Structure 1
Amino acid sequence: MTGERVHRTSHSIEVAAPAGVVYGLISDAVRWPLLLPSTVHVERLEFDGTNERLRMWATAGSQVRSWISTRVQDPRTRCVQFCQQHLQAPVRTMNGTWVVEERPGGSSLLTLLHDFTVHGDRAEDVAWAERALGVNSPAELGSLRSLAERWTRFDELVLSFEDAVAIDAPVEPVYDFLYRVGDWPRRIPHVSRLELTEDTPGVQVVTMDTLTADGLVTTASLRLCFPHAGRIVYKQTVTPALMQAHTGEWNVLHGEHGVMAVAQHSVLLREEAVRRVLGPDADLAQARRHVREALGRNSTATLHLARRHAESVTGPR
């Protein structure tokens, strides 16, 4: 017995969408980085259709925290129970439930319940956890409501794509070019300014000014770097006007004649900005093309520069 007291929070929101639609967003946690503002990255480790094990990264205040979450999905009752493991101090335990209740007229009530303990039950640590939940939970519920209420257009609002460049070089110099983002202003012409913080190795906080066809755009990103996998995943926390959310990955993969460097993007469009940015006659189809071309152009240019760098430092093979 540890003696720590269990603290509980409850947050709810009315959603003008069918309960099945809302539950679908809750159950698909792998897409949460694109849907929920505090979630940075999710990797599904195990899933048998009911029991699920996830590795999750999310912001809590100004920090990026990671944990393992086990979940039990029950589509019949539209509940998802979760238990977080391997938590970072001061939180000792964190459990909860997502509950979707059907309402008359085709609407829903979405509730997020948490119960948690902190090491030693210190009042300041309890207050910190309650503040984090008090910020993140309403923000998550609000995002889910906004998306669920646009469910008939959801497929038009979301797009995912990738571009790839073959490189005649080992993985290491290619990954090194993509990892050393602080060097990009002098290596990549479309990056004019960049600020980098890496207080925790492999967790990068980046603010960047990028030259685009629309002019100078300032973005901010959280990047998680996995050198042994040749992989960098990121989420933009400050996005261009047309994007409500933007996540992506840089992957350096072994190929038959060297490596394949791949840039992946997933975007949630900001529907209300389409006509303001692209003109009064613009629609979602035009916005999708515009974003695809703009992101693809810059990320492909970065991959070609990574190729040139890697092939120059390793020489002919």
Structure 2
Amino acid sequence: MRIAVTGADGFIGSHLVEGLVRSGADVVALAQYNSTGAWGWLEDLPADVLDSVRVVLGDLRDAEVIGQALASAEVVYHLGALIAVPYSFHAPRSYVETNVLGTQNVLDAIRRHGGRLVHTSTSEVYGSAVTVPIAEDHPLQAQSPYAATKIAADKLVESYVAAFDVHAVTIRPFNTFGPRQSARAFIPTVMSQAMTGRTSLSLGSLAPRRDLMFVGDTVAAFQAVGALAADRWNGATLNAGTGTSWPMSRVVDEIARVVGVDLDVVADPSRVRPAAAEVQHLECDSTRLRNATGWQPRVTLREGLETTRDWMADSRRLLSYKPDLYQL
């Protein structure tokens, strides 16, 4: 099968590309254009996998480039987006241009050339939980510019299904972690500080609860959604998560055990979201996805943290996280 992946150079995207290649797919990987020709986390893939991938550098905001890159794909996994919540407070326009207009460009390419879309949403669109666990009919609440742009992108997909008969299904992952996650995320922030000898950590709020799923389980969910019957599931949204939420304070304790150090936390006000913007509780109800595909998460938090620790132990990787800096 000919498959295209936007955001292929990112955290989840690079793992998805690897999983698709190993399943026998012919993959076109769309990565963000840059003047050095770097392929992001795709360069971390094993040589035998990367040799089987056609990498295209471009920009989601460029409709012509997107149209050319997706023209021959039977399935398009759309993961390309700006995703850091704190940075969306500083640069909301760039989130609109990439996440909303970029998604429109992907939809227009599929409308023009055909194929099926697996669109990536996020649990951030739910905001702080009104009911727990969170099912797909939970109210959508934009507590950050990032969440607002993802809601807009989700609604664009919904509208193209209704108005233009585009074939699409939306997957809504909760909080994925694992190797290759960016430095702006909580687990790499804590782990990189702990693994470089710091026992006093600079962190934001530890009260929020998150449903944390290992990236291998997230990739399996993406592939399961991609295999769904196009007609029966056209326009559907499916949550992907473990169904268990962890307070961030407990996650710090788990990381300390995995790394083998004692950690003290120092509150850093610059890392705390505005009070009304903080999503306090995310816990997934993935019943729809499990019933539709038989998918279920298999990796525990402890196992996932150990795998992440082992991957990060490479000194080159560890120092690339710049643990002394707060990454937006």
Q: TM-score range by the shorter chain?
A: under 0.3
Whichever of the two has the greater Rg, that structure is 1
TM (normalized to structure 2)?
A: 0.25
Structure whose residues are more often strand by fraction = 1
Structure whose residues are more often helix by fraction = 2
